[in-house]
Homo-oligomer: A and B are copies of this chain.
Amino acid sequence: MDTVQTPLGKNKNAPGGSAVYAALSASCFTDTKIVSIAGTDFPDKYLKVLKAKNIDLSGIQLKKGKTFRWEGRYGWDFDSARTIATHLNLLKDFNPALTEEDKKCKFVFLANNDPEIQLKIIKQLRCPKLIAADTIEFWINNKRAKLVEVLKKIDILIINEGEARLLTQEPNLIAAAKKIVSYGSPRVIIKKGEHGLLYVAKNKFFSYPAYPLERVCDPTGAGDSFAGAFLGYLSVAGKLNEAKYRKALIMASAVASYTVEGFDIRVLSKLNRSLINKRYGEFKELTRA
């Protein structure tokens, strides 16, 4: 549950969380399941929004107590949020136990969480095709060694530019990305907000601008919906190769650009493949030369 303040207004106790954004986004492309934990305070109407998108919620442990809560504020640049409060609540004791079916999942997004929890999930996976992970400043500062262990076991790290610099101590983003690849993650996506993205694999670079939005309403969830679309698209795109990765990155940018046009999940929950394809086309036009 998020409370977010932007120059355009305040949005209290809104539905949020990495899993919610990533799943809503991925569900535009493929069958999606959330594995997470929530409290009995999580409004049923928000679960209904997820159900309406055919997202499998059976992996959500609904426990007595409070859901994770975050409160943040964005300035006019909308680039990074200032955290006002974080209450882990039930997430503190989250122990991800996968079902036999979950363990066979091929495309997995490890949303921002304690790297030890991320490792617990990775260990249970039997035959993953693509594991992507996110992280934040807190884990980079407090569990760096465990995070680097995660990097050796995933296929792609998806982080923002500040986190990439912090993780690698490299001010130059290209150098930072290459260092992350040297840590073990064969691929890294660095999200730069209004400045687009940088994708680096061994000796491969891809850079793409953001969609030119004249009015950003609420950047919360942009990164998670980006990750959800990236994996969602790839999961139905057939054999993976660099061209598919690039297309997935633009699809993901398209979804993220929709996400930030409204508060919380308002735009995302109404998104569909046809709207995404429309913006994908606009993206191609934007960079056509």
CA separation between A100 and B243, bound complex, in Å? Answer: 55
Which residues of A from 136 to 164 have beta carbons under 8 Å from B?
Answer: none
B contact residues around A200 at 8 Å (CB): 212
Asked if A198 lies at the interface with its beta carbon under 8 angstroms from chain B, I say yes
A208–B178 contact, CB under 8 A? no
Interface assignment of A173: CB less than 8 Å from any CB of chain B: yes
* B residues near A239, Cβ cutoff 8 Å: none
A97 interface residue (CB < 8 Å to B): no
Asked if A209 meets B196 with Cβ closer than 8 Å, knowing A247-B289, A289-B246, the reply is: yes
| B284:A214 contact, CB within 8 angstroms | no
- Knowing A246-B289, A289-B250 are in contact, say whether A212-B205 is a contact too (CB < 8 A): yes
* A5 vs chain B, min Cβ distance (A): 16
Contact A286 B216 (CB under 8 A): no
In the complex, which residues of chain B have a beta carbon less than 8 angstroms from the beta carbon of A173? 194, 212
* A172 CB–B CB distance under 8 Å: yes
| A212 CB contact (under 8 Å) in B171, B174, B246 | B174
Interface size of A by CB at 8 A reads 35
Determine the distance from Cα of A209 to Cα of B287 in the docked complex, in whole angstroms.
Answer: 9
Counting CB contacts under 8 A, is A103 at the interface? no
Given A76-B171, A172-B216, answer yes or no on A207-B207 (Cβ-Cβ < 8 Å). no
A195: Cβ under 8 A from any B Cβ: yes
Q: Which A234-256 residues sit within 8 Å CB-CB of chain B?
A: 243, 246-247, 249-250
Measured CA separation A194–B192 after assembly (Å):
11
Q: Which residues 192-222 of A sit at the B interface, judged by CB distance below 8 A?
A: 192, 194-196, 198, 200, 205-210, 212-216
- A196–B198 alpha-carbon span in the complex (Å): 11
Q: Which residue of B lies closest to A248 (CB)?
A: B289
Known: A175-B215, A207-B212. 5 other contacts (CB 8 A): A76-B171, A178-B214, A192-B195, A205-B286, A249-B289
Sample of 20 A–B contacts (CB below 8 Å): A76-B171, A77-B171, A172-B215, A173-B212, A174-B212, A174-B213, A175-B215, A178-B214, A196-B196, A196-B207, A198-B209, A200-B212, A206-B289, A207-B212, A207-B286, A207-B287, A208-B287, A246-B288, A247-B289, A287-B287
